Amino acid sequence: MLRDAIAVLVGLIAMPAVTFAQDNRFYVGGTLTLSTQTHGEGEPLGGTKPSGGAFAGIWLSPRVALEFEQSFTPRYSWEYSYHFSFSGIADVIASRRDDYYSFELRSRAGVFEPVAGVAYIHGNIARHAIAGGRPYFDDDASQHAVAAVGGLDLNARVGKHVDLIPTFRVLAATRRGTMKSLDYLVDPLRLQTSTGAFVLRYGIGVRMNF
């Protein structure tokens, strides 16, 4: 009798662990979003454009997951012209594209899934100029920065292993530098491709659970 009671007690204690082991799944997914790049008066690049991303993770416990996410962001650009001589005019296109590689912790409370983490940002910036119908100059460089990531997803189960995920993210980057007239001579490429510190990303995603 005592042995049976102990066996039942052990079974009850082990049951949550077994249940979690069955639910402790890897997952992968993708998102289709809009990205809003903030910018101020001295930051020429910004606005809202289509974007997307992909992510993969694993639930470490019933309420906490570790996740990697890559965001595919659009290219932002602007155009201007200036006189480089008495009769010479150069038409310039300045542009940048940033990709975000995020490591995040995801929690779960019912249908709500808060997300927080940190992202590495790899940026490609460039200037292309034409004068008199011919190339005048080309500048390009890479930039690196770090961003804090926060957001909230909603979990809507639409199949045995499929979730529909409305998603929202805020990324706060460590960008510096605004466009000032005297600084064009110092670093015109960086200053003419500067943006604001915040990126808002919002849309819909699909998650496959394994």
Domain count, the chain: 1
Kind plus residue range of the DSSP H or E element containing 67: strand 64-72
Tell me which DSSP letter residue 210 carries: -
In this prediction, residue 110 carries a pLDDT of 94
In this prediction, residue 175 carries a pLDDT of 64
Residue 80 counted as domain residue: yes
Model-level pTM?
0.79
Residue 49 counted as domain residue: yes
In this prediction, residue 191 carries a pLDDT of 87
CA distance 120 to 99: 8
Residue 16 counted as domain residue: no
| DSSP annotation string for 95-143 | EEEEEEEEEEEEE-BTTEEEEEEEEEEEEEEEEEEEETTEEEEEEEEEE
Residue 36 counted as domain residue: yes
CATH number for the domain that contains residue 98: 2.40.160.20
Residue 178 counted as domain residue: yes
Q: Which of 194, 154, 195, 191 is nearest to 171 (CA)?
A: 195
Residue 19 counted as domain residue: no
Residue 1 counted as domain residue: no
In this prediction, residue 41 carries a pLDDT of 82
Cα Rg of the chain (Å, integer):
24
What is the pLDDT tens value at each position of the chain, 210 positions in all?
A: 545 444 543 443 344 443 444 455 899 999 999 999 999 888 899 999 999 999 999 999 999 999 999 998 889 999 999 998 888 999 999 999 999 999 999 999 999 999 999 999 999 999 999 998 999 999 999 999 999 999 999 999 999 899 999 999 999 998 654 444 444 457 889 889 999 999 999 999 999 999
In this prediction, residue 20 carries a pLDDT of 46
3-state secondary structure of 155: coil
Q: List the structure tokens of 155.
A: 């979990």
In this prediction, residue 3 carries a pLDDT of 52
Residue 56 counted as domain residue: yes
